[in-house]
């Protein structure tokens, strides 16, 4: 990772946190309108799907095939989530799957923190949630873990222009806030604050919770060697990513919610189904009940502490 990218990532962690604190303070002084919350919600959904469908299920695991236009669109939306460039993100995540909860996993709460008691547990959770960004992010060998993207000229262009997409991610809500408020500078500032920084902050922490919480507490029902778990209360805000134990059992599956009630809380899979019916995606990977039964460890999910 270049120095500029490292500084961009560092700023992407610190500035939204500061802005979130500022936003809470300003909220009591009426520095939030319903239009600001609409901007936050719409951009949260768009950039969130950019991560879950684009960066993760489409590009990292190739859970379905699609056209270059759809692929590039989701790559741009994922970049606007400000979680790193597309090639960097995919490289790190594929490395995570190659070394899950073992030495070499960039963001496991377990690897390197075993036997440490309460202190070791807290250190592991902090590392998995946010600490790894300062020490491990961008460390995966791109030529090894994302060769297909490195050789894709369009993806290289999107990845190399990540810093401009960060500016777009912040400039768009600023401009929309300005226009919606009738040209008010206050509307521009609140648009940037809520539709930009606060939205990035919230999506960051939901995504990071998959790394930390979903490898520490939750339920498991399949026979896998890692510590991945399903956490139902994170399913909707993470657009289905919190069915993380299911995902680690069947990484190529486009649907992370496998049980009937889990599918109701997997919005990413629902959107993939809609795109499939519209002819925008095809060859969608799904897991049959028979394959699930082969991996079944127990009839009833068991809590993990």
The domain ranges of the chain are: 3-217
- For the segment 189-221, what is each residue's pLDDT rounded down to a tens digit? 999 999 999 899 899 999 999 998 999 889 999
What angle in degrees, to the nearest 10, is found between the helix axes of 3-27 and 162-180? Answer: 20
Which whole-number Å values give the CA distances from 48 to 73, 107, 293, in the listed order?
Answer: 13, 20, 31
Mean pLDDT of 106-130: 78
Which whole-number Å values give the CA distances from 263 to 59, 137, 208, 245, in the listed order?
Answer: 21, 31, 22, 14
- What pLDDT score does 20 carry? 72
Is 43 within 8 Å of 172 (Cβ atoms)? Answer: yes
Q: State how far the Cα of 137 lies from the Cα of 188, in Å rounded to an integer.
A: 32
- What pLDDT score does 278 carry? 98
**Residue 133 burial (CB count, 10 A):** 23
Check pLDDT > 90 for residue 76: yes
pLDDT-based confidence at residue 126 (cuts at 50, 70, 90):
confident
Output 91 or 19, whichever has higher pLDDT: 91
Check pLDDT > 80 for residue 19: no
């Amino acid at each position: 990772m270049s120095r500029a990218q490292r500084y961009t990532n560092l700023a992407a962690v610190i500035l939204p946190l500061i802005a979130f604190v500022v936003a809470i303070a300003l909220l009591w002084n009426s520095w939030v309108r319903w239009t600001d919350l609409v901007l936050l919600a719409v951009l949260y959904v768009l950039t969130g799907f950019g991560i879950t469908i684009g960066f993760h299920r489409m590009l990292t695991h190739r859970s379905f095939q699609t056209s270059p236009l759809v692929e590039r669109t989701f790559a741009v939306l994922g970049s606007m989530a400000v979680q790193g460039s597309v090639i960097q993100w995919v490289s790190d995540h594929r490395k995570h799957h190659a070394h899950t909860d073992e030495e070499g996993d960039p963001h496991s709460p377990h690897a390197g923190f075993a036997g440490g008691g309460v202190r070791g547990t807290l250190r592991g959770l902090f590392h998995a949630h946010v600490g790894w960004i300062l020490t491990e992010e961008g460390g995966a060998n791109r030529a090894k873990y994302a060769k297909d993207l490195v050789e894709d000229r369009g993806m290289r262009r999107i990845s190399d222009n990540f810093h401009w997409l960060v500016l777009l991610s912040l400039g768009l809500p600023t401009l929309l806030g300005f226009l919606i408020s009738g040209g008010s500078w206050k509307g521009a500032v609140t648009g940037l604050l809520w539709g930009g920084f606060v939205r990035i902050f919230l999506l960051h922490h939901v995504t990071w919770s998959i790394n930390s919480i979903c490898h520490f507490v939750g339920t498991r029902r399949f026979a896998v060697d890692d510590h991945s778990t399903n956490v139902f209360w994170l399913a909707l805000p993470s657009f289905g990513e919190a069915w993380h134990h299911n995902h680690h059992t069947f990484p190529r599956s486009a649907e992370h919610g496998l049980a009937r009630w889990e599918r109701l809380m997997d919005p990413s899979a629902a959107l993939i189904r809609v795109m499939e019916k519209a002819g925008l995606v095809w060859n969608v990977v799904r897991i049959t009940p028979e394959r699930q039964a082969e991996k079944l460890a127990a009839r009833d999910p068991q809590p993990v502490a």
